[in-house]
Chain A
Amino acid sequence: MKEAVILSGKGGTGKTSITAALATGMSGVLLVDCDVDAADLHLVLDPKPRNTHEFVSGHAAAIDTELCTSCGLCAEHCRFGAIGPDFSVRHEHCEGCGVCAFVCPTEAAAMLPRLSGHWYISDTRLGTMVHARLLPGEENSGKLVSAVRRAARELAEADGTSLILTDGPPGIGCPVIASLGGADLAVAVTEPTMSARHDLERLYDLTKHFDIPMMVIINKTDVNERIVSELHTWCRDNSIEIAGVLPYDRAFTDAQINRRTGPEHDPQGLGVAMAPIRAKLVERLFGDDE
């Protein structure tokens, strides 16, 4: 079983549309959405949850006003600004460390289990999908990503699935690191802009840091042909394989609006354009096995 993660560094380069497009027509693929705080893949795939799981991660402080003597020790020791002026807990700032409960002389501060979101195993027309929703303003997105990936791997092993295809989050921080660790391949979707190129280089450094091979898809090539050629040079200089290039195509947006994947909506255009990219990805992942 192999696991490929679609990433980008910069947001909005087309990770989710390309994940859905890659999965279209693939057999034996398990889809995972690891962008748990702004998940969008479900908007195209309309998943029907088979199981819903609560994600309880760590704790959050609660202060009992009856027991509180307003001594101020909790506010003095909390390093996250999570204690309000009236000694109420500012939930969105609480990291659940327990310092307040430790220093409170009257046991007014207590640590309660924290419900941070939900994760789901669902059926879609492209197969099984594991996805999640972080509650607004919650932290621990990295831990939710890890929970989603663990469930996906268990499911894939039980079902004999050959490929886990993961729609990753933007950036290079906590949720990206949680999405990437131990994967077989990172697929970076980029676009020919100074920003996306800069972010791609930082993402590449991260994949090297974790020793994960990377392929690149250049999307929206007609925005800037000069930067496209610079991206080709950069990939060649770093021995990074380019899985494919795609011009800006309004059909991706139309597909989204129609709640279809690109190849489903536009088989003659995007369907044809995506086929060789999908083939290169499969070749890279499974080529050695044959």
Chain B
Amino acid sequence: MRIAIASGKGGTGKTTVAANLAALLHSKGLSVTALDCDVEEPNLHLLLHPDWESEQTVGVPVPVIDTKACLGPSCSKCTTLCRFAALAMMGDEVMIFMEMCHGCGLCTLACPPRAITESSRNIGVVRKGQCKGQAAGITVTGGALRIGEAMSPPLISAVLDNAPQADIVLVDCPPGTSCPMIRATQDADFSILVTEPTPFGLHDLGLAAEVLRQAELPFGAVINRQGMGDDAALDFLERENIPLLGTLPHSLQAAAIYSEGRLHVETLPDFAALYEAIWQAVLNQLGGLK
């Protein structure tokens, strides 16, 4: 069963909820895989502390042109068809702008003399590791985008595709509501939207909920740092008929524990109980463990 943890707004506690749920479910005897799909700024490993055991480079296809076979300006099929301005005719030769390429393969398909083949552009790595200590047994797989690379969705897909089988696969998603977030939540059996009780948190919760509704994915919400702001998020969930899965209190002590890379379920007994309640609410929404 795959559960995505997403938010819209950044910094509401996605990674905190993902890591603490992973530890809680593991302590209940379930096999758990935790996926870090926030490949631009991956942090899940800073809370779960896996020993990375393997690292694999991920690439996206980019065209390679055989200049001898290329028909040049008289053809220009590839430069005309490419919708991403990744190919341009410069004099008699086709220039490739690698960073613009989406790897769709249209130029390769369309080239009359079959002068275009494909190589690969490195977009980042997928790492795999195992947790130690109390969390021993949790598998962590995460992506890290290469600095300077713009395109994160293919790397997110690589993380999802490399996920080891487990009873529960938890997906720590990137913030926002555009392609990276959509890619990370796709195919989830359920999504947990983590929000905070502030106008910014509420506004972005609304956007994220709209995206998941359009994609017809089931979801509920967790209000983190309850008490730091107002009650507008609670009113919104009730009005929109979005299940409230639980709340976690605003606490400077909890913030300090998080800042050190430690888990609340292992350090604060009242938080452990709150995570248990959140998990029961998720199961309730799903009608039991699949």
Which interface residue of B41, B151, B256 has the most chain A CB atoms within 10 A? Answer: B41
User: Within 8 Å CB of A79, what residues of B?
Assistant: 61, 103-105
Question: Is A125 in contact with chain B by the CB < 8 A criterion?
Answer: no
Instruction: Encode B139-161 as 1/0 by CB contact (under 8 A) with A.
Output: 00000010111111000000000
A84 within 8 A of B: no
A170-B10 contact given A224-B256, A257-B199, CB 8 Å threshold:
yes
CB distance from A181 to the nearest CB of B (A): 10
From known contacts A40-B204, A58-B83, A92-B215, infer whether A248 and B9 are also in contact, taking CB-CB under 8 Å. no
* Chain A residues in 8 Å Cβ range of B46: 194-195, 198
With a CB–CB cut-off of 8 A, which chain B residues contact A38?
8-10, 175-177, 203-204, 207
In the complex, the chain A residue whose C-beta lies closest to that of B177 is A37
Contact of B8 with A177 in the complex, beta carbons under 8 Å: no
Q: How large is the interface on B (under 10, 10 to 19, 20 to 34, 35 or more residues)?
A: 35 or more
**What residue in chain B is nearest A35 (Cβ atoms)?**
B176
- Chain A residues near B151: list those with CB within 8 A: 173-174
Contact A97 B106, CB 8 Å, known A37-B176, A92-B215, A136-B210: yes
Chain B window 200-242, contacts with chain A (Cβ cutoff 8 Å), 1 for yes, 0 for no = 1001100100110011000000000000111000000000000
Question: Which of the four size classes fits the interface of chain A?
Answer: 35 or more
- Closest A-chain residue to B174, C-beta based? A171
Q: Which 4 A-B pairs have the closest CB atoms?
A: A12-B11, A11-B10, A97-B104, A171-B40
Q: Is the CB of A40 within 8 A of B41?
A: no
A95 touches B41 (CB 8 A): no
Counting residue pairs across A and B whose Cβ atoms lie within 8 Å, the total is 190
A32 interface contact, C-beta 8 A: no
Q: List 20 A-B contacts (CB under 8 A).
A: A12-B196, A38-B10, A38-B177, A38-B207, A40-B9, A79-B103, A92-B214, A92-B215, A97-B83, A137-B177, A137-B178, A171-B180, A173-B151, A191-B259, A194-B259, A195-B15, A248-B252, A253-B198, A256-B199, A257-B230
Interchain CB contact under 8 A, A95 and B102: yes
Per the bound structure, the CA–CA distance linking A170 and B9 in Å amounts to: 9
How distant is the Cα of A246 from the Cα of B57 in the complex, in angstroms?
39
Which residues from 225 to 276 on chain A have a C-beta closer than 8 Å to any C-beta of chain B? 227, 248, 250, 253, 256-257, 259
Task: Confirm or deny: B109 has a beta carbon within 8 angstroms of a beta carbon on chain A.
Answer: yes
Which A residues contact B (CB, under 8 angstroms)? Answer: 8-13, 16, 37-38, 40, 43, 58-59, 77, 79-80, 92-93, 95-99, 102-103, 111, 134, 136-139, 141-142, 169-178, 191-195, 198-199, 202, 205-206, 209-210, 220, 222-224, 227, 248, 250, 253, 256-257, 259
> Given contacts A38-B175, A136-B211, is CB(A223)–CB(B10) below 8 Å?
no
Selected contact of B203 from candidates A43, A173, A174, CB within 8 Å: A43
